[in-house]
Copies of this chain bind each other. A is one copy, B any other.
Amino acid sequence: MEEHAKVAILLDFYGQLLTPRQYQILDLYYNSDYTLGEIASQLNISRQGVYDGVKKGKNTLKEFEDKLGHVKRFLKHEQALKKILSDLRRVKCAGKVRDGEIIDSCIEELEKVINDL
């Protein structure tokens, strides 16, 4: 996954643990796609201040993820659940529900996801 999108997810997961100011800077940068200059002008601080704020906030978010790993777990589950969903849709699209093997593998996969939550 691309760095920008990765930090946006980290911000979604752990943003509330940042200071309101840190959150504001990162939100403008990662969610609203403002440039450093635009944020500086909007918040009336220096461009360097914004740069430092983004860097520090991003590192703080990464530290939370290193300690907790909730995003890693989320992405793993999302991938598994999308696979199950697409398998079940395949059964559905077949017109009638008859593919027992797919259902079996969906059940197995779901058991893994749940045990692993």
Main SS of chain A's interface residues? Answer: helix
- Tell me the A10-54 residues at the B interface (CB within 8 Å): 13-14, 16-17
* Number of copies of this chain that the complex holds: 2
A106 interface contact, C-beta 8 A? yes
Tell whether, in the assembled complex, residue B17 and residue A68 are in contact, meaning their CB atoms are under 8 Å apart.
yes
Closest B residue by C-beta to A95: B100
Tell whether, in the assembled complex, residue B67 and residue A17 are in contact, meaning their CB atoms are under 8 Å apart.
yes
A8 interface contact, C-beta 8 A? no
Chain A interface (Cβ < 8 Å from any Cβ of B): 13-14, 16-17, 64, 67-68, 70, 74, 77-78, 81-82, 84-85, 88-89, 91-92, 96-100, 103-104, 106-107, 110-111, 113-114, 117
